[in-house]
Homo-oligomer: A and B are copies of this chain.
Amino acid sequence: MILVMKKGATQEMVQRMVQRVESMGLKAHVIVGTELTVIAAIGDDRNVKKESFESCEEVERLVPILAPYKVASRETKPDATVVKVRDLVVGGGHIGVIAGPCSVESEEQIILAAKKVKEAGAKALRGGAYKPRTSPYAFQGMKEEGLKLLAAARDVTGLAVVTEVMTPHHVETVVKYADVLQVGARNMQNYHLLQAVGETRTPVLLKRGLSSTMEEFLLAAEYILDQGNQQVMLCERGIRTFETHTRFTLPLASVPYLKQKTHLPVVIDPSHGTGIASLVPPMCRAAVACGADGLIVEVHPDPKEAISDASQTISPEVFAEALVECRRVAHALGFTMD
């Protein structure tokens, strides 16, 4: 890190900071500029309580130099992580598609949805059994009953099951039915949950928090990796900005950015990312074009009847057509997409 000293800091103040830096096992290097003096602290400072420097009066500000995440870093593991579970392959040039309704509503609905999305080309079925809802008065999901229906849909179609886990003590149950554990955006910094899914060996789809920075996102992944679970997919699902014409703002530049910084695959959720059904197909195509490793799309046999997220849900027919176009884009660019 670099410490920028306040203008007018005396030599004595600088000396005191140097001692402080060195007391932490780092090497200090003083550079006297024409207006300001800076101290470069050399060494791995990831475990050093850096913040404490910012409360020293003589310090103007602290500039971190090293990225705070390690295991998720492309520098640590240059080759791409590929997540494989049943027929779903995400990463390493393979674009995997996950689709299904927002919520599991009934056996009939989830099995019909599974069949339809499989027909269109999806390799995994999404569906919420435990639903985090903004309002306590909204439908909270079918819970374990919903998990059983997802498993039944898997039995019928062979699709892998992706479903959300909301709290650590549900992990044990959800892991019995799910092929991929989804950690939702609201829980991206629910550290006990991250650790709990990290302790399993089931792949994880980690959604970006809606106001998380890329560093926070990668550090959340680091919590999971740190427990030994290496099968982590990062899911960009849109951020909260001043824009109101879409539900969230979908920053697709996250795709190439993340792929430069980390070896983990990147999945795009254009349904939450826009909140508007008619914007989902073009955003699917754009995601594929900029290198996304996967898509997760809300599809319901009859969107009008969906219990939740209806406005951003597309029909199986629209979904199938969108995938036809995505495949064309993928193949034009040399990606594999079945």
Q: Is A156 an interface residue (CB 8 A)?
A: no
Q: How many copies does the complex hold?
A: 4
Q: Are A241 and B241 in contact (CB under 8 A)?
A: yes
Q: Are B260 and A278 in contact (CB under 8 A)?
A: yes
Interface 1/0s, chain A 233-257, versus B by CB < 8 A? Answer: 0000001111111100111110111
Q: Is A12 an interface residue (CB 8 A)?
A: no
Q: Are B49 and A139 in contact (CB under 8 A)?
A: yes
A80 CB to nearest chain B CB (Å): 16
Q: Are B244 and A239 in contact (CB under 8 A)?
A: no
Partner of A51, one of B38, B167, B309, B329: B309
Partner of A189, one of B34, B132, B273: B132
- Chain B: which residue is nearest A259 at the CB level? B282
Tell me which of A90-98, A109-117, A118-126, A219-227 binds B. Answer: A219-227
Q: Are A167 and B190 in contact (CB under 8 A)?
A: yes
Partner of A283, one of B68, B169, B253, B307: B253
| Cα(A53)–Cα(B311), bound, Å | 7
Q: Is A152 an interface residue (CB 8 A)?
A: no
| Cα(A252)–Cα(B222), bound, Å | 29
| Chain B residues within an 8 Å CB radius of A313 | 55
A272 CB to nearest chain B CB (Å): 12
Partner of A135, one of B75, B222, B257, B282: B222
| Cα(A31)–Cα(B40), bound, Å | 8
Tell me which of A81-89, A173-181, A199-207, A210-218 binds B. Answer: A210-218
Q: Is A77 an interface residue (CB 8 A)?
A: no
- Which A271-286 residues have C-beta < 8 A from chain B? 273-274, 276-279, 282-283, 285-286
Q: Are B244 and A213 in contact (CB under 8 A)?
A: yes
Q: Are A257 and B279 in contact (CB under 8 A)?
A: yes
Interface size class of A (residues with CB under 8 A): 35 or more
Q: Is A166 an interface residue (CB 8 A)?
A: yes
A220 CB to nearest chain B CB (Å): 8
Q: Are B43 and A40 in contact (CB under 8 A)?
A: no
Q: Are A51 and B310 in contact (CB under 8 A)?
A: yes
Q: Is A65 an interface residue (CB 8 A)?
A: yes
Q: Is A157 an interface residue (CB 8 A)?
A: no
A252 CB to nearest chain B CB (Å): 5
Interface 1/0s, chain A 31-52, versus B by CB < 8 A? Answer: 1111110101011101101011
| Chain B residues within an 8 Å CB radius of A137 | 46-47, 68
- Which A316-338 residues have C-beta < 8 A from chain B? 325, 328-329, 331-333
Q: Are B135 and A285 in contact (CB under 8 A)?
A: no
Q: Supply 16 A–B pairs (Cβ within 8 Å), ascending by A.
A: A31-B40, A35-B44, A35-B66, A36-B65, A38-B40, A134-B216, A136-B191, A167-B167, A213-B245, A244-B244, A245-B257, A249-B251, A253-B282, A260-B278, A282-B290, A332-B332
- Chain A residues with a Cβ under 8 A of chain B: 2, 4, 7, 29, 31-36, 38, 40, 42-44, 46-47, 49, 51-56, 63, 65-66, 68-69, 75, 132-137, 139, 166-169, 186-187, 189-193, 210-211, 213-216, 219, 222-223, 226, 239-246, 249-253, 255-257, 260, 273-274, 276-279, 282-283, 285-291, 303-313, 325, 328-329, 331-333
Nearest 8 CB-CB pairs, A to B?
A54-B311, A211-B211, A289-B289, A55-B310, A282-B290, A286-B286, A286-B290, A328-B332
